[in-house]
Structures are given as structure tokens and as C-alpha cells.
Structure 1
């Protein structure tokens, strides 16, 4: 897992609209909350990302760009985003399969999916918060908000 204090591995992935999104494009302008999750349309993932959606203003107020990341295709991410009304990019780590999740140490080789990894990257590209939860284990999003507040 990428540790707190390390430079976040850069990447470029396609979002649900097949637009390229690079982590480095936010350097110097916004913090980034990377939310890795196993699969679109699954119960715990939907609950977690709906809460992020409902509390998005909290992150935006802290100059934080939320980026969801999974191994799903952009096409399934687009359908899921439209269904749930997510107002932040969902990035496809589909091919090479799980390459970004591997770089962050949150790829489960046995199941072929990302586990629930959360990383807060500051405007300089340094990881300021890192948490990994196993399959079926929901995250404590209050900890994310505390980490965001500590950046201000």
C-alpha cells in the first residue's frame, strides 16, 4: 500500500465519459481523494459512493476533487453514474487490468478487483491519508473528512 508521506503514483485513466483524467492534472490546484472500490452496482460500493455524492459539498469546500476508481469498464461506470447521479468522475482501471490499483497496493489478484482503498493526495502530490478496507468491510468516511479538514 502507498504510505502516508509518499508521493502518489501518477496515472491517467478514462472516466465514465471516456475522457482522460490524469492525477497530475490536479497538482498545484486541488487536493484529490482517491476512492478505490470493487465494482459498480454492488451494494456496499453504491452506499459508500452515494454518501460521497450526498456530502460532495464538504469535499468541494476543501478544494478536494473526488475520483472513484474501479476495474469496471467506462460503459458500466457511465450507466451507474447516470443511475445514481454521481457528480464526480468514476475512473476505469479496466485495462491494463487493475494497473493503478496495483500501483497503490489495493488490487486483489485472486478476485481481479480493487479492494476499498482510500487515499487523500495533497496539491503537491503527497499522500496525506491512506486506508485500506477488505472486501465486505465498509469504510469510515468521517476519517476522510477529518483528513480533509487537516489540510486547510
Structure 2
């Protein structure tokens, strides 16, 4: 997905088995923060950083979501283990990686998504998109700074 393209809608269950869809966040930006797999150190740092930044994103009229191909029970246990209280982490488990595939960031040979941040604006257009090295924790300040500068 490239900046300016129409974002693909989706409906996924989060860690509490509650449906999350892009279109439910009308008039708000949505940050799709893809991470490969729960229970890994870099993904943990990514989701904790996103949790720590949650209120800042909210103040900028932006809803952050942490998406991976892990099943709901795994995401629920992991969210509890690492102390996620605000952040919703939808499961792209079945059909496996379907949302990551829609956004062109599914790693077929590995069975999980790239580590990526995709910011969707209020009009459902891609405003920012970046794929990170699998071993790199995304810098959310770069996303926050981009939102603030608009």
C-alpha cells in the first residue's frame, strides 16, 4: 500500500474477542501497527511502546491497533502477561494473515506479517506507511511527529 491509496477495510477479533473494523473509527485516524508474533522480545517492546504512547495518539484523534497473525487466545494471554490495558491487538489469524495480505506485507515463507506502521487518515486514505527491519522496534515518535505536522 502506498501513501494516498484507499485503505482496505477489515473486521478482526481483538484480544478480548471483540470485533474491530477500520470503518468503526469514523472521523479518526487509525494506526495499524503490524508485528510478526506475540511472545517475542521485539514485538513486546513494540506493543509496550504503543501502549505507552496510547494517550498521545488519542489526543491526536488517532486510534492505534497492534495487529499480528496470532490467534485470539494467544493475544489475550500475551496482553495480560505484558500488561496491555488500553491497546487493542486484533488477531489476523483466520483466514491466516488476510489483512496483512491486503496491505501487501504478509511474509508467506514465514507465515507472519512484516513489522510495519500504516497510518490511515479520516478519509480512509494511507497517510504514512513504513516497513521496518524484523529486529527493529518502530519509532512511534516519527508517526506522532507526522500527525502533529499536518
Indicate whether the TM-score tops 0.5: yes
Structure 1 SS opposite 2:77: helix
Deviation per CA, 1:6-62, whole angstroms, max 9, x where unpaired? 11111000111111111011122x110100000111000101111111121110110
TM-score (norm 1): 0.93
Conserved? CA contact 1:128–1:147, under 8 Å: no
Count of paired positions: 149
**Equivalent residue in structure 2 for 1:49, among 41, 47, 50:** 47
Q: Take 2:88 and 2:4, find their aligned partners in 1: how far apart are those partners?
A: 25
Q: Take 1:140 and 1:22, find their aligned partners in 2: how far apart are those partners?
A: 24
Q: Take 2:53 and 2:17, find their aligned partners in 1: how far apart are those partners?
A: 25
2:57 matches 1:59: yes
Q: Take 2:104 and 2:42, find their aligned partners in 1: how far apart are those partners?
A: 21
Shift in Å at residue 94 of structure 1? 0.3
Shift >6 Å, 4+ stretches: none
Shift in Å at residue 136 of structure 1? 1.6
Structure 1 SS opposite 2:95: coil
Q: Take 1:36 and 1:120, find their aligned partners in 2: how far apart are those partners?
A: 11
Q: Take 1:88 and 1:140, find their aligned partners in 2: how far apart are those partners?
A: 17
TM-score (norm 2): 0.94
Structure 1 unaligned residues grouped into runs of 5+: none
Q: Take 2:38 and 2:12, find their aligned partners in 1: how far apart are those partners?
A: 16
Deviation per CA, 1:92-148, whole angstroms, max 9, x where unpaired? 000100010011111000100011111111111111110011322332222111122
